[in-house]
Amino acid sequence: MKVILLATTIIITISATTTILTILLHQHYQTAQAYPCVGGSAKEYCTAYHDGANQAYIDYKTGHDLGIDQHRCTNNSNDYCDGYARGYSDEADFLG
């Protein structure tokens, strides 16, 4: 009887732990891509993506709130501004 109770307790504990871990992992799902350098002008877009990601990292490390609205794109190129916004957003997703 004690062996059956122990086995049942172990199975329930493992099931509960697995369920909890699955829920927690889904809460921290990353939507950012590792290297999404695409755009009309790939070089300009990628440069801006890198700049945006760096700015998000700086904001994170200095304790500022993460938000692209703090850093308006002043470049006249749509490719640059799109890349900057995407890079900032992706890095913010990675950092939390």
Name the packing angle between helices 78-95 and 42-61 (round to 10°): 40
Does the structure show a pLDDT above 80 at 93? yes
Does the structure show a pLDDT above 70 at 87? yes
- The Cα-based distances of 57 to 29, 30, 69, 88 in angstroms read 19, 16, 15, 8
CB atoms within 10 A of CB 82: 20
- Residue 42: pLDDT band (50, 70, 90) is confident
If you average pLDDT over residues 68-90, what whole number do you get? 85
The string of pLDDT tens digits covering residues 12-23 is: 888 878 777 666
Quote the pLDDT of residue 26. 58
Q: How far apart, in whole angstroms, are the C-alpha atoms of residue 77 and residue 27?
A: 36
Does the structure show a pLDDT above 80 at 54? yes
CA neighbor of 35 nearest in space, from 95, 94, 96: 94
